Structure 1
Amino acid sequence: MTVDSDVEPGRPEAIKAVPVRHPGRWLGAAVILVLIAMFVHFLVTSKALEWPEQWKYLFSDPVLKGVRNTIWLTVAAMIGAIVFGIVLALMRMSENPLLRGAAFVYLWFFRGTPLYTQLLIWGAIGSLLPTIGVGIPFGPEFHTWKTQELVNVALAAALGLILNEAAYMAEIVRAGIQSVDEGQTEAASALGMSRLQTLRRIVLPQSMRVIVPPTGNETISMLKNTSLVVAVPYSELTFTAQTIYASTYKIIPMLVMACLWYLLLSSILMVGQFYLERYYARGTSRSAEARQRIRFRGGGGGQ
Protein backbone atom coordinates (compact mmCIF):
# COMPACT_ATOMS: atom_id res chain seq x y z
CA MET A 1 0.00 0.00 0.00
CA THR A 2 1.35 3.37 -0.99
CA VAL A 3 0.92 6.48 1.14
CA ASP A 4 0.26 9.87 -0.46
CA SER A 5 3.28 12.00 0.26
CA ASP A 6 1.15 15.20 0.38
CA VAL A 7 -0.87 14.04 3.41
CA GLU A 8 0.77 13.83 6.80
CA PRO A 9 0.53 10.38 8.38
CA GLY A 10 -2.12 10.21 11.08
CA ARG A 11 -4.11 13.29 9.92
CA PRO A 12 -7.40 13.02 8.02
CA GLU A 13 -7.88 14.72 4.70
CA ALA A 14 -9.45 18.20 4.70
CA ILE A 15 -13.24 18.18 4.36
CA LYS A 16 -14.44 19.69 1.13
CA ALA A 17 -17.57 21.60 2.21
CA VAL A 18 -20.21 22.00 -0.48
CA PRO A 19 -22.57 24.93 0.14
CA VAL A 20 -26.25 24.03 0.30
CA ARG A 21 -28.25 25.43 -2.57
CA HIS A 22 -31.50 27.25 -1.85
CA PRO A 23 -33.17 27.89 -5.20
CA GLY A 24 -36.53 28.44 -3.49
CA ARG A 25 -35.15 31.40 -1.56
CA TRP A 26 -33.80 33.05 -4.70
CA LEU A 27 -37.08 32.45 -6.52
CA GLY A 28 -39.07 33.92 -3.62
CA ALA A 29 -36.77 36.95 -3.46
CA ALA A 30 -37.15 37.51 -7.21
CA VAL A 31 -40.94 37.36 -6.96
CA ILE A 32 -40.95 39.83 -4.05
CA LEU A 33 -38.68 42.25 -5.94
CA VAL A 34 -40.97 42.13 -8.98
CA LEU A 35 -44.04 42.77 -6.79
CA ILE A 36 -42.30 45.71 -5.09
CA ALA A 37 -41.33 47.18 -8.45
CA MET A 38 -44.92 46.81 -9.69
CA PHE A 39 -46.27 48.48 -6.55
CA VAL A 40 -43.83 51.42 -6.80
CA HIS A 41 -44.69 51.80 -10.48
CA PHE A 42 -48.38 51.89 -9.56
CA LEU A 43 -47.79 54.56 -6.91
CA VAL A 44 -45.85 56.73 -9.33
CA THR A 45 -48.02 56.38 -12.41
CA SER A 46 -51.55 55.99 -11.06
CA LYS A 47 -53.69 59.03 -11.80
CA ALA A 48 -56.37 57.93 -9.32
CA LEU A 49 -54.10 58.71 -6.35
CA GLU A 50 -53.75 62.40 -7.29
CA TRP A 51 -50.73 63.13 -5.12
CA PRO A 52 -50.98 66.94 -5.56
CA GLU A 53 -54.53 66.80 -4.18
CA GLN A 54 -53.34 64.81 -1.19
CA TRP A 55 -50.50 67.25 -0.52
CA LYS A 56 -53.00 70.09 -0.68
CA TYR A 57 -54.94 68.72 2.30
CA LEU A 58 -52.23 66.73 4.12
CA PHE A 59 -51.39 69.55 6.56
CA SER A 60 -54.60 71.54 6.30
CA ASP A 61 -56.26 72.75 9.51
CA PRO A 62 -59.22 70.29 9.39
CA VAL A 63 -56.91 67.32 8.85
CA LEU A 64 -54.52 68.39 11.62
CA LYS A 65 -57.50 68.80 13.95
CA GLY A 66 -58.63 65.29 13.05
CA VAL A 67 -55.11 63.98 13.77
CA ARG A 68 -55.08 65.71 17.18
CA ASN A 69 -58.48 64.23 18.03
CA THR A 70 -57.28 60.79 16.96
CA ILE A 71 -54.18 61.06 19.15
CA TRP A 72 -56.00 62.24 22.27
CA LEU A 73 -58.70 59.60 21.83
CA THR A 74 -56.02 56.90 21.60
CA VAL A 75 -54.17 58.16 24.68
CA ALA A 76 -57.32 58.69 26.76
CA ALA A 77 -58.80 55.34 25.75
CA MET A 78 -55.65 53.37 26.58
CA ILE A 79 -55.03 55.11 29.92
CA GLY A 80 -58.63 54.57 30.99
CA ALA A 81 -58.67 51.01 29.68
CA ILE A 82 -55.43 50.08 31.48
CA VAL A 83 -56.63 51.47 34.83
CA PHE A 84 -60.08 49.88 34.52
CA GLY A 85 -58.54 46.69 33.12
CA ILE A 86 -56.35 46.29 36.22
CA VAL A 87 -59.45 46.62 38.41
CA LEU A 88 -61.33 44.04 36.32
CA ALA A 89 -58.35 41.68 36.40
CA LEU A 90 -58.18 41.85 40.19
CA MET A 91 -61.93 41.25 40.33
CA ARG A 92 -61.54 38.19 38.08
CA MET A 93 -58.88 36.81 40.43
CA SER A 94 -60.77 37.68 43.61
CA GLU A 95 -61.93 35.00 46.03
CA ASN A 96 -65.29 36.77 46.23
CA PRO A 97 -67.67 34.97 43.81
CA LEU A 98 -69.78 38.11 43.33
CA LEU A 99 -66.78 40.13 42.16
CA ARG A 100 -65.63 37.30 39.89
CA GLY A 101 -69.10 36.93 38.43
CA ALA A 102 -69.54 40.66 37.81
CA ALA A 103 -66.19 40.86 36.04
CA PHE A 104 -66.99 37.79 33.94
CA VAL A 105 -70.33 39.24 32.82
CA TYR A 106 -68.65 42.52 31.92
CA LEU A 107 -66.02 40.77 29.82
CA TRP A 108 -68.66 38.51 28.25
CA PHE A 109 -70.74 41.48 27.09
CA PHE A 110 -68.05 43.86 25.86
CA ARG A 111 -65.99 41.18 24.15
CA GLY A 112 -69.05 39.55 22.66
CA THR A 113 -70.57 42.61 20.96
CA PRO A 114 -69.05 44.70 18.13
CA LEU A 115 -67.29 47.93 19.05
CA TYR A 116 -69.09 49.78 16.26
CA THR A 117 -72.47 48.74 17.68
CA GLN A 118 -71.44 49.87 21.16
CA LEU A 119 -70.38 53.25 19.77
CA LEU A 120 -73.72 53.60 18.00
CA ILE A 121 -75.45 53.08 21.34
CA TRP A 122 -73.21 55.71 22.96
CA GLY A 123 -74.06 58.08 20.14
CA ALA A 124 -77.76 57.64 20.94
CA ILE A 125 -77.33 57.44 24.72
CA GLY A 126 -79.84 60.25 25.17
CA SER A 127 -82.59 58.02 23.78
CA LEU A 128 -81.64 55.18 26.13
CA LEU A 129 -81.18 57.36 29.23
CA PRO A 130 -82.88 60.76 28.77
CA THR A 131 -81.70 61.96 32.19
CA ILE A 132 -79.03 61.13 34.75
CA GLY A 133 -79.75 61.84 38.37
CA VAL A 134 -78.15 61.75 41.81
CA GLY A 135 -80.22 60.46 44.70
CA ILE A 136 -81.28 57.41 46.67
CA PRO A 137 -81.33 54.15 44.67
CA PHE A 138 -84.93 53.26 43.72
CA GLY A 139 -85.97 56.43 45.54
CA PRO A 140 -86.15 60.18 45.02
CA GLU A 141 -83.50 62.04 43.01
CA PHE A 142 -81.87 65.15 44.38
CA HIS A 143 -80.66 66.50 41.06
CA THR A 144 -80.95 65.45 37.40
CA TRP A 145 -79.16 66.35 34.16
CA LYS A 146 -80.08 65.82 30.54
CA THR A 147 -77.86 63.01 29.32
CA GLN A 148 -77.33 64.50 25.88
CA GLU A 149 -75.99 67.70 27.45
CA LEU A 150 -73.85 65.90 30.02
CA VAL A 151 -72.34 63.34 27.63
CA ASN A 152 -71.13 65.22 24.56
CA VAL A 153 -69.79 63.48 21.45
CA ALA A 154 -66.15 63.59 22.61
CA LEU A 155 -66.99 62.01 25.96
CA ALA A 156 -69.28 59.45 24.33
CA ALA A 157 -66.52 58.42 21.91
CA ALA A 158 -63.93 58.14 24.71
CA LEU A 159 -66.24 56.17 27.01
CA GLY A 160 -67.16 53.76 24.25
CA LEU A 161 -63.51 53.03 23.49
CA ILE A 162 -62.46 52.82 27.16
CA LEU A 163 -65.20 50.41 28.24
CA ASN A 164 -64.60 48.12 25.27
CA GLU A 165 -60.82 48.08 25.52
CA ALA A 166 -60.88 47.53 29.31
CA ALA A 167 -62.36 44.07 28.71
CA TYR A 168 -59.31 43.07 26.65
CA MET A 169 -56.79 44.77 28.93
CA ALA A 170 -58.26 42.88 31.90
CA GLU A 171 -57.30 39.55 30.33
CA ILE A 172 -53.85 40.83 29.38
CA VAL A 173 -53.18 42.05 32.93
CA ARG A 174 -54.57 38.83 34.42
CA ALA A 175 -52.26 36.74 32.22
CA GLY A 176 -49.29 38.88 33.25
CA ILE A 177 -50.07 38.60 36.97
CA GLN A 178 -50.53 34.84 36.74
CA SER A 179 -47.16 34.51 34.97
CA VAL A 180 -45.38 35.53 38.20
CA ASP A 181 -44.42 32.55 40.33
CA GLU A 182 -46.58 32.11 43.42
CA GLY A 183 -43.46 31.77 45.51
CA GLN A 184 -42.85 35.48 45.02
CA THR A 185 -46.16 36.41 46.66
CA GLU A 186 -45.66 33.85 49.41
CA ALA A 187 -42.23 35.29 50.20
CA ALA A 188 -43.66 38.83 50.25
CA SER A 189 -46.42 37.71 52.59
CA ALA A 190 -43.85 36.08 54.89
CA LEU A 191 -42.02 39.42 55.02
CA GLY A 192 -45.21 41.09 56.23
CA MET A 193 -46.11 42.94 53.03
CA SER A 194 -49.79 43.60 52.36
CA ARG A 195 -51.50 42.34 49.21
CA LEU A 196 -51.48 45.84 47.71
CA GLN A 197 -47.77 46.28 48.45
CA THR A 198 -47.04 42.86 46.97
CA LEU A 199 -48.97 43.71 43.85
CA ARG A 200 -47.33 47.11 43.42
CA ARG A 201 -43.74 46.20 44.33
CA ILE A 202 -43.40 42.54 43.40
CA VAL A 203 -46.05 41.26 41.00
CA LEU A 204 -46.69 44.12 38.57
CA PRO A 205 -43.01 44.97 37.89
CA GLN A 206 -42.28 41.33 37.02
CA SER A 207 -45.46 40.88 35.00
CA MET A 208 -44.67 43.87 32.77
CA ARG A 209 -42.53 41.64 30.56
CA VAL A 210 -45.68 39.72 29.68
CA ILE A 211 -48.06 42.70 29.70
CA VAL A 212 -46.12 45.20 27.56
CA PRO A 213 -46.06 43.41 24.15
CA PRO A 214 -49.83 42.77 23.87
CA THR A 215 -50.55 46.20 25.36
CA GLY A 216 -48.44 47.77 22.63
CA ASN A 217 -50.40 45.84 20.04
CA GLU A 218 -53.67 46.96 21.62
CA THR A 219 -52.49 50.59 21.52
CA ILE A 220 -51.79 50.36 17.81
CA SER A 221 -55.17 48.70 17.29
CA MET A 222 -56.81 51.44 19.34
CA LEU A 223 -55.26 54.08 17.08
CA LYS A 224 -57.05 52.46 14.15
CA ASN A 225 -60.24 51.75 16.09
CA THR A 226 -60.68 55.47 16.66
CA SER A 227 -61.90 55.58 13.05
CA LEU A 228 -65.05 53.80 14.27
CA VAL A 229 -66.14 56.78 16.36
CA VAL A 230 -67.68 58.07 13.16
CA ALA A 231 -70.67 56.19 14.58
CA VAL A 232 -71.03 58.79 17.37
CA PRO A 233 -70.16 60.88 15.21
CA TYR A 234 -66.91 62.56 16.30
CA SER A 235 -64.49 64.50 14.10
CA GLU A 236 -61.39 62.31 14.06
CA LEU A 237 -59.07 61.62 11.10
CA THR A 238 -61.30 59.31 9.04
CA PHE A 239 -64.38 61.44 9.65
CA THR A 240 -62.41 64.50 8.52
CA ALA A 241 -61.31 62.73 5.32
CA GLN A 242 -64.92 61.76 4.64
CA THR A 243 -66.04 65.34 5.18
CA ILE A 244 -63.47 66.61 2.68
CA TYR A 245 -64.26 64.13 -0.08
CA ALA A 246 -67.98 64.69 0.42
CA SER A 247 -67.44 68.17 -1.04
CA THR A 248 -64.50 67.53 -3.40
CA TYR A 249 -65.50 64.02 -4.58
CA LYS A 250 -61.85 62.98 -4.31
CA ILE A 251 -62.58 59.77 -2.42
CA ILE A 252 -59.43 57.72 -3.06
CA PRO A 253 -56.91 60.55 -2.55
CA MET A 254 -58.45 61.53 0.78
CA LEU A 255 -58.61 57.95 2.06
CA VAL A 256 -54.99 57.33 1.02
CA MET A 257 -54.02 60.57 2.79
CA ALA A 258 -55.70 59.28 5.97
CA CYS A 259 -53.82 55.98 5.60
CA LEU A 260 -50.52 57.87 5.41
CA TRP A 261 -51.28 59.61 8.70
CA TYR A 262 -52.26 56.31 10.34
CA LEU A 263 -49.05 54.71 9.08
CA LEU A 264 -46.96 57.55 10.51
CA LEU A 265 -48.63 57.43 13.93
CA SER A 266 -48.51 53.61 14.02
CA SER A 267 -44.80 53.65 13.17
CA ILE A 268 -44.11 55.99 16.09
CA LEU A 269 -46.04 53.67 18.42
CA MET A 270 -44.12 50.64 17.09
CA VAL A 271 -40.80 52.33 17.87
CA GLY A 272 -41.99 53.13 21.38
CA GLN A 273 -43.18 49.55 21.85
CA PHE A 274 -39.78 48.23 20.73
CA TYR A 275 -37.88 50.26 23.33
CA LEU A 276 -40.38 49.41 26.08
CA GLU A 277 -40.09 45.70 25.36
CA ARG A 278 -36.30 45.93 25.35
CA TYR A 279 -36.37 47.82 28.67
CA TYR A 280 -38.52 45.21 30.43
CA ALA A 281 -36.60 42.34 28.81
CA ARG A 282 -33.42 43.31 30.64
CA GLY A 283 -31.84 40.50 32.61
CA THR A 284 -32.74 37.72 30.20
CA SER A 285 -29.85 35.85 28.66
CA ARG A 286 -31.55 35.42 25.31
CA SER A 287 -34.93 36.55 24.17
CA ALA A 288 -37.38 34.23 22.44
CA GLU A 289 -37.06 36.28 19.27
CA ALA A 290 -33.29 35.77 19.21
CA ARG A 291 -33.74 32.02 19.67
CA GLN A 292 -36.17 31.92 16.79
CA ARG A 293 -33.71 33.77 14.54
CA ILE A 294 -30.95 31.31 15.43
CA ARG A 295 -33.18 28.30 14.66
CA PHE A 296 -34.36 29.86 11.40
CA ARG A 297 -30.78 30.43 10.25
CA GLY A 298 -29.88 26.86 11.07
CA GLY A 299 -27.78 27.69 14.07
CA GLY A 300 -29.19 24.92 16.26
CA GLY A 301 -31.74 24.80 19.01
CA GLY A 302 -29.75 26.93 21.45
CA GLN A 303 -29.11 26.37 25.08
Structure 2
Amino acid sequence: MSLEYILKISGPMLEGAKVTLLTFFIVIIISIPLGLFITLAGRSRFRPIVWFIKGYIYVMRGTPLLLQLLVLCFGLPMIPVIGQYLVLDRFLAAVIGFVLNYAAYFAEIFRGGLLAIDKGQYEAAQVLGMNRWQRMTRIILPQMFRVTLPSVTNETITLVKDTALLYAVAVPELLHYAQTAVNRDFTIVPFFIAGLMYLMITLVLTFFLKRIEMKVKFE
Protein backbone atom coordinates (compact mmCIF):
# COMPACT_ATOMS: atom_id res chain seq x y z
CA MET A 1 0.00 0.00 0.00
CA SER A 2 1.42 3.36 -1.05
CA LEU A 3 2.32 6.21 1.25
CA GLU A 4 -0.06 8.39 -0.76
CA TYR A 5 -2.99 6.12 0.17
CA ILE A 6 -2.00 6.13 3.86
CA LEU A 7 -1.87 9.93 3.88
CA LYS A 8 -5.19 10.09 2.06
CA ILE A 9 -7.09 8.03 4.63
CA SER A 10 -5.20 9.45 7.61
CA GLY A 11 -6.81 12.89 7.13
CA PRO A 12 -10.41 11.78 7.85
CA MET A 13 -9.21 9.44 10.57
CA LEU A 14 -7.46 12.32 12.32
CA GLU A 15 -10.79 14.17 12.23
CA GLY A 16 -12.32 11.15 13.91
CA ALA A 17 -9.50 11.14 16.46
CA LYS A 18 -10.48 14.70 17.41
CA VAL A 19 -13.95 13.45 18.33
CA THR A 20 -12.37 10.59 20.28
CA LEU A 21 -10.16 12.98 22.24
CA LEU A 22 -12.98 15.48 22.78
CA THR A 23 -15.17 12.72 24.21
CA PHE A 24 -12.33 11.52 26.41
CA PHE A 25 -11.56 14.92 27.91
CA ILE A 26 -15.21 15.83 28.52
CA VAL A 27 -15.91 12.51 30.23
CA ILE A 28 -12.78 12.64 32.41
CA ILE A 29 -13.34 16.26 33.47
CA ILE A 30 -16.92 15.55 34.54
CA SER A 31 -16.90 11.91 35.70
CA ILE A 32 -14.03 12.12 38.21
CA PRO A 33 -15.56 14.97 40.30
CA LEU A 34 -19.00 13.36 39.90
CA GLY A 35 -17.59 10.03 41.08
CA LEU A 36 -16.09 11.72 44.14
CA PHE A 37 -19.41 13.43 44.88
CA ILE A 38 -21.23 10.10 44.60
CA THR A 39 -18.73 8.49 46.98
CA LEU A 40 -19.17 11.19 49.59
CA ALA A 41 -22.95 11.21 49.16
CA GLY A 42 -22.92 7.46 49.69
CA ARG A 43 -21.59 8.08 53.19
CA SER A 44 -24.70 10.09 54.05
CA ARG A 45 -26.77 9.19 57.07
CA PHE A 46 -29.94 9.68 55.03
CA ARG A 47 -30.71 6.10 54.01
CA PRO A 48 -32.76 6.80 50.82
CA ILE A 49 -29.76 8.60 49.32
CA VAL A 50 -27.50 5.67 50.17
CA TRP A 51 -29.97 3.19 48.64
CA PHE A 52 -30.31 5.30 45.49
CA ILE A 53 -26.54 5.53 45.05
CA LYS A 54 -26.06 1.82 45.63
CA GLY A 55 -28.76 1.07 43.05
CA TYR A 56 -27.25 3.50 40.55
CA ILE A 57 -23.77 2.01 40.90
CA TYR A 58 -25.14 -1.53 40.67
CA VAL A 59 -26.99 -0.75 37.42
CA MET A 60 -24.09 1.14 35.83
CA ARG A 61 -21.54 -1.53 36.68
CA GLY A 62 -23.85 -4.47 36.11
CA THR A 63 -24.97 -3.66 32.57
CA PRO A 64 -22.82 -3.19 29.44
CA LEU A 65 -21.77 0.34 28.58
CA LEU A 66 -22.89 -0.31 25.01
CA LEU A 67 -26.41 -1.11 26.23
CA GLN A 68 -26.49 2.11 28.23
CA LEU A 69 -25.43 4.12 25.17
CA LEU A 70 -28.09 2.45 23.00
CA VAL A 71 -30.79 3.22 25.57
CA LEU A 72 -29.79 6.89 25.81
CA CYS A 73 -29.40 7.37 22.06
CA PHE A 74 -32.26 5.25 20.70
CA GLY A 75 -34.33 4.00 23.63
CA LEU A 76 -35.37 7.18 25.42
CA PRO A 77 -37.26 8.63 22.41
CA MET A 78 -39.39 5.45 22.36
CA ILE A 79 -40.80 6.01 25.85
CA PRO A 80 -44.56 6.66 25.56
CA VAL A 81 -45.77 10.23 26.09
CA ILE A 82 -42.45 11.78 27.20
CA GLY A 83 -40.21 10.20 24.58
CA GLN A 84 -40.51 13.16 22.22
CA TYR A 85 -38.93 15.37 24.89
CA LEU A 86 -36.00 13.02 25.40
CA VAL A 87 -34.55 13.17 21.90
CA LEU A 88 -30.91 14.15 22.32
CA ASP A 89 -28.07 14.83 19.94
CA ARG A 90 -26.26 11.51 19.63
CA PHE A 91 -22.91 12.90 20.66
CA LEU A 92 -24.46 14.53 23.73
CA ALA A 93 -26.38 11.37 24.60
CA ALA A 94 -23.22 9.28 24.24
CA VAL A 95 -21.21 11.64 26.44
CA ILE A 96 -23.91 11.50 29.11
CA GLY A 97 -23.80 7.71 28.94
CA PHE A 98 -20.03 7.64 29.33
CA VAL A 99 -20.11 10.12 32.21
CA LEU A 100 -22.77 8.18 34.14
CA ASN A 101 -20.95 4.89 33.59
CA TYR A 102 -17.47 6.07 34.46
CA ALA A 103 -18.65 8.13 37.42
CA ALA A 104 -19.98 4.89 38.94
CA TYR A 105 -16.63 3.16 38.46
CA PHE A 106 -14.68 6.11 39.84
CA ALA A 107 -17.07 6.24 42.80
CA GLU A 108 -16.22 2.64 43.66
CA ILE A 109 -12.50 3.33 43.25
CA PHE A 110 -12.74 6.31 45.60
CA ARG A 111 -14.83 4.31 48.08
CA GLY A 112 -12.10 1.70 48.16
CA GLY A 113 -9.55 4.44 48.72
CA LEU A 114 -11.46 5.78 51.71
CA LEU A 115 -11.74 2.30 53.20
CA ALA A 116 -7.97 1.89 52.86
CA ILE A 117 -7.30 4.86 55.14
CA ASP A 118 -6.65 3.88 58.74
CA LYS A 119 -9.30 4.98 61.24
CA GLY A 120 -6.52 6.48 63.31
CA GLN A 121 -6.27 9.27 60.73
CA TYR A 122 -9.85 10.31 61.46
CA GLU A 123 -9.28 10.13 65.20
CA ALA A 124 -6.08 12.15 65.00
CA ALA A 125 -7.84 14.86 63.00
CA GLN A 126 -10.61 15.01 65.61
CA VAL A 127 -8.05 15.34 68.39
CA LEU A 128 -6.56 18.30 66.52
CA GLY A 129 -9.96 19.96 66.63
CA MET A 130 -10.73 19.78 62.92
CA ASN A 131 -14.34 19.82 61.80
CA ARG A 132 -15.67 17.29 59.26
CA TRP A 133 -14.90 19.50 56.24
CA GLN A 134 -11.34 20.14 57.40
CA ARG A 135 -10.77 16.45 58.10
CA MET A 136 -11.89 15.45 54.63
CA THR A 137 -10.11 18.16 52.64
CA ARG A 138 -6.83 18.32 54.59
CA ILE A 139 -6.32 14.77 55.82
CA ILE A 140 -8.54 12.14 54.22
CA LEU A 141 -8.99 13.15 50.57
CA PRO A 142 -5.27 13.80 49.85
CA GLN A 143 -4.44 10.32 51.15
CA MET A 144 -7.35 8.80 49.26
CA PHE A 145 -6.20 10.30 45.95
CA ARG A 146 -2.69 8.96 46.53
CA VAL A 147 -4.06 5.44 47.15
CA THR A 148 -6.47 5.45 44.21
CA LEU A 149 -4.24 7.12 41.61
CA PRO A 150 -3.04 3.85 39.98
CA SER A 151 -6.63 2.60 39.63
CA VAL A 152 -7.77 5.96 38.26
CA THR A 153 -4.92 5.80 35.75
CA ASN A 154 -5.98 2.35 34.56
CA GLU A 155 -9.61 3.45 34.24
CA THR A 156 -8.51 6.52 32.29
CA ILE A 157 -6.63 4.39 29.75
CA THR A 158 -9.66 2.11 29.46
CA LEU A 159 -11.81 5.12 28.62
CA VAL A 160 -9.67 5.90 25.58
CA LYS A 161 -10.40 2.45 24.18
CA ASP A 162 -14.07 2.52 25.18
CA THR A 163 -14.64 5.65 23.08
CA ALA A 164 -14.67 3.25 20.11
CA LEU A 165 -18.22 2.40 21.25
CA LEU A 166 -19.29 5.74 19.76
CA TYR A 167 -19.19 3.88 16.46
CA ALA A 168 -22.14 1.75 17.58
CA VAL A 169 -24.37 4.80 18.09
CA ALA A 170 -23.42 6.42 14.77
CA VAL A 171 -21.11 9.10 16.15
CA PRO A 172 -18.30 9.60 13.57
CA GLU A 173 -15.16 8.97 15.60
CA LEU A 174 -11.84 7.32 14.74
CA LEU A 175 -13.13 3.77 14.27
CA HIS A 176 -16.01 5.00 12.13
CA TYR A 177 -13.65 6.48 9.55
CA ALA A 178 -11.44 3.40 9.66
CA GLN A 179 -14.41 1.11 8.99
CA THR A 180 -15.61 3.38 6.18
CA ALA A 181 -12.20 3.18 4.49
CA VAL A 182 -12.09 -0.60 4.91
CA ASN A 183 -15.53 -1.05 3.33
CA ARG A 184 -14.70 1.32 0.48
CA ASP A 185 -11.20 0.12 -0.39
CA PHE A 186 -11.36 -3.56 0.64
CA THR A 187 -8.14 -3.36 2.68
CA ILE A 188 -7.32 -3.87 6.33
CA VAL A 189 -4.72 -1.06 6.38
CA PRO A 190 -7.12 1.53 7.92
CA PHE A 191 -7.61 -0.75 10.92
CA PHE A 192 -3.86 -0.87 11.49
CA ILE A 193 -3.64 2.92 11.23
CA ALA A 194 -6.52 3.30 13.69
CA GLY A 195 -4.75 0.91 16.06
CA LEU A 196 -1.57 2.96 15.85
CA MET A 197 -3.51 6.14 16.61
CA TYR A 198 -5.10 4.55 19.69
CA LEU A 199 -1.67 3.32 20.79
CA MET A 200 -0.19 6.80 20.39
CA ILE A 201 -2.97 8.35 22.44
CA THR A 202 -2.63 5.80 25.23
CA LEU A 203 1.16 6.08 25.13
CA VAL A 204 1.07 9.84 25.69
CA LEU A 205 -1.57 9.51 28.42
CA THR A 206 0.34 6.73 30.15
CA PHE A 207 3.53 8.81 30.12
CA PHE A 208 1.89 11.83 31.76
CA LEU A 209 -0.15 9.80 34.24
CA LYS A 210 2.91 7.81 35.33
CA ARG A 211 4.79 11.06 35.84
CA ILE A 212 1.97 12.25 38.08
CA GLU A 213 2.02 8.96 40.00
CA MET A 214 5.76 9.23 40.59
CA LYS A 215 5.47 12.84 41.71
CA VAL A 216 2.68 12.04 44.16
CA LYS A 217 4.52 8.95 45.41
CA PHE A 218 7.60 10.88 46.45
CA GLU A 219 5.86 13.90 47.92
Please indicate, yes or no, whether the TM-score normalized by the shorter chain is above 0.5. yes
Match of 1:257 in 2: 193
- Give the TM-score, by structure 2 length: 0.90
| Percent identical residues | 34
Give per-residue Cα distances to partners, 1:20-51, cap 9 Å, x unaligned. xxxxxxxxxxxxxxxxxxxxxxxxxxxxxx36
Match of 1:128 in 2: 79
Question: Higher mean Cα deviation, 95-104 or 66-75?
Answer: 95-104
Match of 1:88 in 2: 38
TM superposition shift of 1:78 = 1.7
TM superposition shift of 1:161 = 0.6
Aligned residues: 217
Match of 1:298 in 2: none
Match of 1:14 in 2: none
Give per-residue Cα distances to partners, 1:244-286, cap 9 Å, x unaligned. 3333233x11111110000000000110121111011115xxx
Q: Which runs of 5+ in 1 are unaligned?
A: 1-49, 133-144, 284-303
Q: Is the 8 A contact 1:122 1:232 kept in 2?
A: no
Question: Higher mean Cα deviation, 104-113 or 94-103?
Answer: 94-103
Match of 1:147 in 2: 86
- Give the TM-score, by structure 1 length: 0.67
TM superposition shift of 1:214 = 0.8
Match of 2:206 in 1: 270
Q: Is the 8 A contact 1:123 1:233 kept in 2?
A: no
TM superposition shift of 1:158 = 0.5
Q: 2:149 aligns with which of 186, 203, 212?
A: 212
Which amino acid in structure 1 is aligned with residue 134 of structure 2? Q
| 4+ runs deviating over 4 angstroms | 129-132
> How far apart in 1 are the matches of 2:123 and 2:170?
50
- Does 1 or 2 have the higher relative contact order (CA < 8 Å, sep 6+)? 2
Q: Does 1:166 align with 2:118?
A: no
TM superposition shift of 1:131 = 4.2
Distance 1:77 1:187, change over 3 A: same
The secondary structure found in structure 1 opposite 2:32 is helix
Match of 1:33 in 2: none
TM superposition shift of 1:188 = 2.4
Which amino acid in structure 1 is aligned with residue 170 of structure 2? P
> How far apart in 2 are the matches of 1:104 and 1:212?
23
The secondary structure found in structure 2 opposite 1:197 is helix
Q: Does 1:75 align with 2:3?
A: no
Distance 1:89 1:55, change over 3 A: same
Which amino acid in structure 1 is aligned with residue 175 of structure 2? T
Q: Which runs of 5+ in 2 are unaligned?
A: none
Q: 1:97 aligns with which of 47, 54, 61?
A: 47
Match of 1:23 in 2: none
Match of 2:180 in 1: 243
Which amino acid in structure 2 is aligned with residue 219 of structure 1? T
TM superposition shift of 1:238 = 0.6
For 1:5-84, what aligned pairs fall within 5 Å after superposition? 50=1, 52=3, 53-58=5-10, 60=11, 62-84=12-34
Match of 1:119 in 2: 69
> How far apart in 2 are the matches of 1:99 and 1:81?
19
RMSD: 1.9
